[in-house]
Structure 1
Amino acid sequence: MDRRLILIVFIFFLNNLVFSQSKFTIQNKRQTDKISFKLINNLIVLPVEINGVSLSFLLDSGVSKPIIFNFLNITDSLNIKETETIFLRGLGEGETVKALKSRNNIIKIGDAIKLNQDIYAVYDDNLNFAPRLGVPIYGIIGYDLLKDLIVEVNYSNRFIRLSNPEKYTYKECRKCERLNLEFYNNKPYVNSEVKINDKKIPVKLLIDSGGSDALWLFEDDSLGIKSSDKYFNDFLGHGLSGSVYGKRTKVDAFYLKGFELRNANVAYPDSSSISFARNFKGRNGSLAGNILKRFNVIFDYRRALITLKRNSHFNDDFNYNRSGIELAHDGVRLVREIENRVLNSSPTNGGIENSEAVNSNKIVINTQYQFSLKPAYAIVELREGSPAHEAGLMVGDVILNINSKASYNYSLQQIVQMFYDEAGRKIRLRVDRKGETLSYTFNLRDPF
């Protein structure tokens, strides 16, 4: 073969190799892959592999950079080297957060792989989602994955499907709605409408799969975007720059093209918590997990499209926490459990069974104790004026029993779900407060 031809072929191969390394691609013959996820508090928790280490990440369409939370010093095992110090800013009233930018990391999600991914490691112990979600969360990823692949999120069956765009074919769907996306700082926005005080108002919302609420709106009297008189003040979440507080209430309805969701939950964050978010002047708020989970969603960033198909969650009620308690994992407790063993239950007459022999049988129980470590759940936020607050519970209380059953028999999400139950349900808690055991009872109450 001519040397010039060999050189041209080599350069072509090298260019294609470099190109493939600069984006996510599906490394199988089908050019598509299906990955199961956990849906926890309306958030998508995915398995992600970084430099050969398996971790769990949030799929967060509201972030433009993949971030690792280094509260467990996991970057030591990831072979991440300090290359550049930067400062990140997000929601919350706090300051910017220091992060280390690392280049050329290998990241793998199912059969999707990228060989030169930039990662931002944040060294802040406060940025730890694990206690509030009940599972370890080591990072968040959004734009870098979504921009390269077609990402289908099946909320009803809890899996995502990743596909190379060149091989993806849309299926006919009469019950779907397809909306155009707009991008600002690599984040997706969609135009929709809300009805407040019987008035339809057009709004531009960030699509934020990393938020567990339904809607956040930024109050603007000139547009008619404002809270109703029926609201309560509450903790809304923890952003990159600190805690976020604001008002919670309802909107009359929320519209995504032909879809209508009535009496949807809405939060109006304090202006001091969203100063950074309002840098994009056209933004009116966020559309988050409690609405997204009601659809199966196709993200197509290359065509700037999002496709929505209603699923089995569409008609779920929009409920609020009726207790006022926000819980989180608080390490483990050493628990003593009784273990009963049957030592002797055999007949005493040499195996001859008759009524007299049976009546003379003796069963000897040997009671022993075993110690084990069980998860502990503590109150980390308590809404003022809520039933739990009025009953006398306090932030820092560790829940030992709920309705006469040990708390460690439940997952964190199971206990939280009890607090969203019907108004009037009685909740009995036994708690540990700095070594003192106390009991409290209250009834769940509609926060309005």
Structure 2
Amino acid sequence: MKIAFFSIKKPINLILIIFCFTNLSFSQNKFTIENKKQSDKINFKLINNLIIIPVEVNGVNLSFLLDTGVSKPIIFNFLNVSDTLKIKDTETIFLRGLGNGESVEALKSKNNIFKIGDAIKLSQDLYAVYDSNLNFAPRLGFPVHGIIGFDLFKDLIVEINYSKKILKLTTPEAYTYKKCKKCERLNLEFYNNKPYINAQVIMNREMIPIKLLIDSGGSDALWLFEDDSLGIRSSNKFFYDFLGHGLSGSVYGKRSKVRNLLLKSFMLDKVNVSFPDSTYILHARKHKNRNGSLSGNILKRFNVIFDYRRAIITLTKNRYFNEKFQYNKSGIELSHDGYRLVREKDGASQNKDDKYGNSQNQGTKIIIDTKYKLSLKPAYVVVELRKDSPAEKAGLLIGDVILSINNKDTYQFKLQELIHKFYEDSGKRIKLKVERHGIILTVDFKLEDVFQ
């Protein structure tokens, strides 16, 4: 299952920074690469179509989401990392993002040192958010301390090799473009420091030109904003679903398919598309010409070069290009929710029955079982449940803790491995053992494909 994860958008009370390519090279306040090659490679984790990179902030090693849809770096303070980071020079501001909740209070901090591989910036602004509910790590099964985007992309050429999971950063002056017969280069447009491209979509038997935000911080494939005047509307085959969680709350809307998405000569078939309800995306629609977003489930099908100075993006197909667009056929959204004690066999123990189990002392038999141990294992809980989905019809409830799936203990799986079980073919039988208020129950259902 691909959990929709949304980038945090630009604060409503910040002054728009005019993006000027001609002046970027003269800025002293920027990321520079501290080696002779003026280039560096960083390994990243690809989790649910999202890029997680190691970032050192004020000497502390953290994990950040690489998000083209965010302006300034944001740190989530659910682990009180700002105390360790010694954040200083702060002022209180309010941030606004996706969802229909309230703005979130944050501290704006100046003069922070950021280091990504050999790329370093000595005076970086950041926002520290103190809302304990803004912790996206449980949905990913991996700690994410913050988000970084524009400030890195504007200073360096950023190459993302999704196939090898390598991020390459290069000083623009040291970068040389190679001839590429099998790639496509598209022009970038910028609004509020965020990149947009022009594409085409074939839906409802029409070819429609669209302008899309490039949002590497979203795990979905394609978002479209419904607009009858442009012919952008869902087909008759759709279901209403949880689409993800943004800075200002959860987002809901329709999930469906479009026949094709065209990025110049590249054509993707039967693409997953989400149509978020307008009440959750008021902030995202401030750019009147924007028709939606292009996110991680499409971006990962290419190896990508971002060149903000020249305002171009280069796409080259990779091994994921022809991968079928799947979606969650169970209706279950899971989250990591702490740990539970589990009794399991101790592989390090040997059979010691002869020494202990069969010992007799004046008629008293002492048996010490060393084959088992108690361990803390991750607990996976149902946090969203789609109405009329196979799981809901089978009796599953929000709050149920999933103990096993098809007779295998869930603690043997990473969260994303478990979630992908719900993306398998229609008709696949799913048997869950769950704990509900201390009672063990069994839930049985089959995956259903709405679009067949």
TM-score over 0.5 for the alignment?
Answer: yes
Q: CA deviation at 1:433?
A: 0.7
- Does structure 2 retain, via aligned residues, the 8 Å contact 1:32–1:164? yes
Matched, 1:323 2:324: no
Aligned-partner Cα distance in 1 for 2:144–2:120: 20
- Does structure 2 retain, via aligned residues, the 8 Å contact 1:320–1:447? no
TM-score (norm 1): 0.90
- Does structure 1 retain, via aligned residues, the 8 Å contact 2:252–2:277? yes
- Does structure 1 retain, via aligned residues, the 8 Å contact 2:404–2:432? yes
| Among 408, 412, 418, the residue aligned to 2:411 | 408
- Does structure 1 retain, via aligned residues, the 8 Å contact 2:237–2:450? no
Report the residue type matching 2:286 in the other structure.
N
- Does structure 1 retain, via aligned residues, the 8 Å contact 2:92–2:107? yes
Partner of 1:153: 160
Report the residue type matching 1:91 in the other structure.
L
Q: Secondary structure at the match of 1:306?
A: strand
Residues 17-49 of structure 1: CA distance to partner in whole angstroms, max 9, x if unpaired?
x97751001100110000000000000000000
- Does structure 2 retain, via aligned residues, the 8 Å contact 1:154–1:296? yes
Report the residue type matching 1:259 in the other structure.
F
Partner of 1:94: 101
Residues 159-194 of structure 1: CA distance to partner in whole angstroms, max 9, x if unpaired?
110000000000111000000000000000000000
Report the residue type matching 1:441 in the other structure.
D
Partner of 1:121: 128
Partner of 1:71: 78
Report the residue type matching 2:213 in the other structure.
L
Partner of 1:395: 398
For 1:174-253, list aligned pairs within 5 A. 174-253=181-260
Aligned-partner Cα distance in 1 for 2:50–2:256: 21
- Cα RMSD of the aligned pairs, angstroms, is 1.6
Question: Sequence identity of aligned pairs in percent?
Answer: 67
Q: Secondary structure at the match of 1:243?
A: strand
Residues 249-296 of structure 1: CA distance to partner in whole angstroms, max 9, x if unpaired?
001100001100011000000000111111110100000000000000
Partner of 1:433: 436
Structure showing greater Rg:
1
Aligned-partner Cα distance in 2 for 1:230–1:296: 32
Partner of 1:11: none
Q: CA deviation at 1:133?
A: 0.3
Aligned-partner Cα distance in 2 for 1:116–1:165: 20
Report the residue type matching 1:60 in the other structure.
D
Q: Which runs of 5+ in 1 are unaligned?
A: 1-17, 347-363
Matched, 1:135 2:142: yes
Aligned-partner Cα distance in 1 for 2:354–2:184: 68
Q: Secondary structure at the match of 1:400?
A: strand
Aligned-partner Cα distance in 2 for 1:412–1:344: 37
TM-score (norm 2): 0.89
Aligned-partner Cα distance in 1 for 2:353–2:206: 77
Partner of 1:353: none
Matched, 1:341 2:344: no
Q: Secondary structure at the match of 1:77?
A: helix
Partner of 2:60: 53
Aligned-partner Cα distance in 2 for 1:316–1:365: 53
Point out which structure has higher relative CO (alpha carbons under 8 A, 6+ apart): 2
Greater Cα shift, 215-224 or 73-82: 73-82
Q: Secondary structure at the match of 1:376?
A: strand
Aligned-partner Cα distance in 2 for 1:320–1:403: 20
Q: CA deviation at 1:53?
A: 0.2
Q: Secondary structure at the match of 1:423?
A: coil
Aligned-partner Cα distance in 1 for 2:397–2:436: 9
Partner of 1:169: 176
Aligned-partner Cα distance in 2 for 1:255–1:206: 15
Q: Secondary structure at the match of 2:85?
A: coil
| Among 265, 275, 285, the residue aligned to 1:278 | 285
Matched, 1:264 2:271: yes
Partner of 1:293: 300
Residues 343-362 of structure 1: CA distance to partner in whole angstroms, max 9, x if unpaired?
3799xxxxxxxxxxxxxxxx
